[in-house]
Amino acid sequence: MYPTQYINNWDLVDLSSHEILGTYLLDKPEKRNILISLAKSKSLWERRIAMVACYALLRKNQFDETFAVSEILLHDEHDLIHKAVGWMLREVGKRDAEAEEAFLKKHYKIMPRTMLRYAIERFPEPKRKFYMA
């Protein structure tokens, strides 16, 4: 479906997804549904591409796709997806703490612990304890 057959590790995804796919989508909101398709893929690497590609968008304070892809991946079984989602949510929080917290308040009780830990890494200790309780 997508030309991803040679992508076989997280390093390739993390170094290129936001630069290639994410940057391509910056001025093409009508094509951003590709992120949803990738997030629903059976391929671990395509799911991670969907999440990490959002980094280019969130750097421009465009969070909708990050939250949409994150919601799809909330129940993913793979630790590499948990880490990517938490990382992107943390990046949202660096730009808009209220937006990140609104997402967390809605989902933190069902998020995998690794995902949640990555997302709240920069929170003050009392707030981290609240979310982890």
What does the pLDDT read at residue 8? 83
What does the pLDDT read at residue 14? 95
- Consecutive H or E run containing 44: helix 44-58
The model carries a pTM of 0.95
Q: Write out the chain's pLDDT in tens, 133 residues.
A: 567 877 888 899 999 999 999 999 999 999 999 999 999 999 999 999 999 999 999 999 999 999 999 999 999 999 999 999 999 999 999 999 999 999 999 999 999 999 999 999 999 999 999 999 9
Q: What are the b/e assignments for 65-91, b being 16+ CB within 10 Å?
A: bbbbbbebbeebeeebbbbbbbbbbbb
* Separation between Cα atoms, residue 45 and residue 8, nearest integer Å: 7
What does the pLDDT read at residue 66? 98
Domain ranges of the chain: 10-132
Angle between helices 64-73 and 44-58 (to 10 degrees): 160
Residue in 85, 80, 78, 22 with CA at minimum distance from that of residue 51:
85
- Contact indicator for 89, 118 with CB cutoff of 8 Å: yes
Instruction: Output the CA torsion 32→72→44→88 (10° steps).
Output: 70
Residue in 22, 124, 114 with CA at minimum distance from that of residue 77:
114
CATH of 10-132, one of 2.60.120.10, 1.25.10.90, 3.50.50.60, 3.40.190.10: 1.25.10.90
